[in-house]
Structure 1
Amino acid sequence: MIFTRRHLVASAASALFLFIAAPLQAQDQQGEPSLLPVHEERLVIETSEGSFDYSVELALNGRDRASGLMFREQMDDDHGMLFRFEEPRQITMWMRNTLIPLDMIFIRGDGTVAGHHADAVPLSEAVIASPEPVLFVLELNAGKAEEMGLAEGDRVSHPIVAEAAGAQ
């Protein structure tokens, strides 16, 4: 077969299109929000201001933690996501592909709050680090930590947290 200049240009254009379109198509498929099941028992946070309860999705493995709340356009006011790690460690998070502002609450293995980061900026790649080694991170809509009067030492109750505390 003889290739003319026109054939070569068309072939190159097709190859370029496939090179560009394939990652975009994969990104669209990965860009769908991954909805994790909401745990049947509510998570409770006890602060000096009172008791606050939330329905939480559980991110218990690496795949679920990696996707977290990415690509979600909204989250119900009384919902959140609880991330559990294999062992207490310094946790670093970011907001890449996360569209809603969040409060991140860092929780020790005994269920006490180690600290929090308020109003994480959507789509930011700035690293947000726990103040000390923790076992859990709870993500809530931005402003919830302030609304609750959340402080270091406040207590978080949930079966997954109780299970970890009992193992320590």
Structure 2
Amino acid sequence: MAIRIIVHEPDPVLHEVAKEVTKFNANLHKLLDDMADTMYDAEGVGLAAPQIGVLKRVIVVDVGDDNGLIEMVNPELVEMEGEQLGPEGCLSIPGLNGDVRRHQKIKVKGMDRNGEVFEMIAEDFLARAFQHEIDHLNGILFTSIADSVYEIQRQGKE
């Protein structure tokens, strides 16, 4: 396992559509492990493979709830309902946040690291995290769909 370098805007890889994963092997397992390590090291709640320069449809999410770490390969939204407007940030766009409209509740379908298909229902913050990471797989950054974008106010250490 290793911590990878997170790609920052305006790197062109962040605007490309990631390719579907067809091989479920040790290379994919290492990618997933590295992505989780990288996300935790950066104190993020989600990471998509393009954010470390890998154009594959792979995401990891951990919003700190009972679900823990969720790995999903070839994720897709299959049901969406409701709307929420809330703040988002991105490890690839440090220093900026934005208010983004997302679905309140979703069903997401994908595969685990071994190619087994599974579905999850997600609401609220977890739904937001999934939608944000899936957008990365389609070359969409939150700054291009946000109602407003603003600089993060840093608190000084005392």
Do the structures match in fold with TM over 0.5?
A: no
TM-score (norm 1): 0.27
Higher RCO by CA contacts (8 Å cutoff, separation 6 or greater): 2
Greater gyration radius: 1
